[in-house]
Chain A
Amino acid sequence: MSGTLHLIEVDVNGKRRVAQVPARLSLVDWLRDELRLTGTHVGCEHGVCGACSVMLDGEAVRACLMYAVQAHGHRVTTVEGLARPDGTMSPLQDAFCEAHGLQCGYCTPGMLIAAQALLDANPRPTEVEIREAIGGNLCRCTGYQQIVEAVRLAALRVE
Chain B
Amino acid sequence: MSSYRYIGKGRRAKEHPRFVTGRGRYVADIALPGMKHIALVASPHASARIASIRADAARAKPGVHYVLTGEEFCAHTDSLLIGVDAPKVTRWALARGLVRYAGEWVAAVVADSRALAEDAAELVEVDYEPLPQVVDPCEALEGRILVHPEHGSNVLYRRKFVWGPVEEAFAGADHRLSFRASWGRSATVPIETFGVVASWDAGTQILDIWASIQMPKYPDQTARALRLPGNAVRVHYDVDVGGSYGVKRGIKHTALAGYLARKLGAPMRLIEDRLENMRGGDMQGPDRAFDLQAAFDRDGTIRGLRIRAVDDVGAYAGRSPLQLGKPIGAICGPYRIPAIEYEPVSVMTNKTPQEAVRGFGQSPTNFAIERTVDRVAQYLGMDRIELRKKNLIRKDEFPYLIPSGSTYDSGDFHTVLDKALAVATYPQLLVLRDQMRKAGKLAGIGIATCLEPSGGNSAFEVLMNPKNETTTWMDSCLVRVDLSGSITGVINNSSSGQGHESLVSTVLGEVLERDPGAIRVVRADSLTALPSNSPVGSRMAIMLGGAAAGAAKRIKQALLAIAAHNFECSPDDLEYRGGDVSLQGVPSKKLSWDQLVEIAHRKFHKLPGGLEPGLQAKFVWEVPTGGGLPTADGRIQMYPCYAFEAHVVLVEIDPGTAKPSIRSYVCGHDCGVMINPDIVHGMTYGGIAHGIGAALYEKFAYTTEGQLASGTFMDYLIPSAMEVPGMTIVDHCTPSPLTEFGQKGSGEAGYLGAPAAIANAVNDALSPLRVSIEALPMSHHAIWSALKEAKSRI
Q: Which residues of A contact B (CB under 8 A)?
A: 24-25, 32-33, 36-46, 48-49, 51, 78-80, 82-83, 89, 93-94, 96-98, 100, 102-109, 112, 127, 130-132, 134-148
Contacts and interface: CB of A to CB of B under 8 A. Distances in A.
B274 A39 contact: no
B22 A140 contact: no
Listed from nearest, the 9 A-B pairs whose CB atoms lie closest are A39-B22, A105-B19, A104-B497, A106-B242, A103-B497, A143-B685, A143-B689, A79-B22, A48-B713
Given A107-B191, A142-B685, A146-B685, A131 B16 contact: no
A9 to B, nearest CB: 23
B713 A49 contact: yes
Contacts of B499: 103
B243 interface: yes
Interface residues of B, number: 56
Contact of A93 (B20, B193, B274): B20
B396 interface: no
Interface in B298-319: none
B679 interface: yes
Nearest to A107: B191
26 contacts: A38-B22, A39-B24, A44-B274, A44-B713, A48-B712, A80-B21, A97-B13, A100-B679, A100-B682, A103-B497, A104-B19, A105-B240, A106-B190, A106-B242, A134-B721, A138-B718, A139-B191, A140-B188, A140-B243, A141-B243, A141-B497, A141-B686, A143-B724, A145-B682, A145-B724, A146-B678
Given A40-B22, A104-B192, A135-B721, 8 more contacts: A42-B28, A79-B22, A100-B16, A131-B722, A140-B190, A140-B245, A142-B682, A146-B685
Interface of B: 12-13, 15-24, 26, 28-29, 31, 115, 188-193, 240-243, 245, 273-274, 496-499, 678-679, 681-683, 685-690, 712-714, 718, 720-722, 724, 726-727, 750
A40 to B, nearest CB: 7
A128 to B, nearest CB: 9
Of B21, B497, B498, B679, the most chain A CB neighbours within 10 A belong to B21
Contacts of A144: 685, 689, 720-721, 724
Given A46-B274, A100-B13, A100-B679, A143 B687 contact: yes
Contacts of A82: 21
A36 B242 CA distance: 18
A103 B682 contact: yes
Contact of B686 (A41, A79, A131, A142): A142
A103 B678 CA distance: 10
A52 to B, nearest CB: 10
Contacts of B681: 100, 145-146
Given A39-B21, A103-B497, A138-B191, A145 B243 contact: no
Contacts of A78: 22
B19 A140 contact: no
A107 B24 CA distance: 11
A130 B26 CA distance: 28
Of A93, A105, A134, the most chain B CB neighbours within 10 A belong to A105
Given A140-B190, A144-B689, A135 B722 contact: yes
A147 to B, nearest CB: 7
Contacts of A148: 721, 726
Contacts of B688: 143
A96 B19 CA distance: 10
B192 A106 contact: yes
A38 B241 CA distance: 14
A141 B680 CA distance: 11
Of B15, B24, B498, the most chain A CB neighbours within 10 A belong to B24
Contacts of A25: 115
A79 B21 contact: yes
A145 B713 contact: no
Nearest to A131: B721
A140 B712 contact: no
